[in-house]
Structure 1
Amino acid sequence: MIQEMVEQVQIIRQKMRAAQDRQKSYADAKRSDISFEVGEKLRRYLSDPSHILSHDVVEVDEQLTYIETPKEILDRKVRKTRHGETALVKMLWTNHKAEEATWETEAAMRESYPHLFT
């Protein structure tokens, strides 16, 4: 019985050594210097005016905030519910693209921005 126990301890020690060796080789691989290959794919950058991005100027106040105002109405629709109908308008806001337009109630927009409905 003691002999079996000694053999099992030896097997466990061998497995622990193998695991430690794998761990060391993994750590050594992680520590090795990373080499970068500069191939023919890299070229010197040539300045091109078409690469310049344009941006919109946003005026901000002392608190670094700005007021959103609608530019135009892009679309209209009527939403029907159980309690009635609601007229909606798709508003394009300043400093935003058409993809960022939002649906607002027509009544609220008419009250706040009547000049857009003439």
Structure 2
Amino acid sequence: MKLIRQKIQTAQSRQKSYVDNRRKNLEFVVGDQVFLKITPLKVSLMAGKGKKLQPRFVGSYKIIQRVGNVAYKLKLLPSWFRIHNVFHVSMFKKYHPDPSHVLQPENIKIDEALTYEEKPVKLLDRKVKELRNKRIPLVKVL
């Protein structure tokens, strides 16, 4: 039994050292500006743009309070009143003042799960791809 416990402890310490090497300790102070990570819905991936082109962060938002060791309270927009304003530190990205990085969140409707649905703006092109026994309609959207 002692041998099993010892093997488990060595395996756990080895895994901990691997994780600690890759982990970056993010700490923010009250008043810092951060970007907030959002995730798109799977439906929006079918709208023409791939996952790589979807926005990953919105903001910047001001940190109001530190809650525990790894959670922070943000000052969100009034239109986001349904979203809880305390987030884990892994949801943040440090804000460096550059206006080109800022995505205006007024244009995006984000729900409680921090997801959004992308709606097409304009139909650019349409064609039908013909295979041997079926036809696939293709649509290019902006």
Please give the TM-score of this superposition, normalised by the length of structure 1.
Answer: 0.29
- 1 or 2, which has the higher strand percentage? 2
- 1 or 2, which has the higher helix percentage? 1
Larger radius of gyration: 1
Q: Which has the higher contact order (CA 8 A, sep 6+)?
A: 2
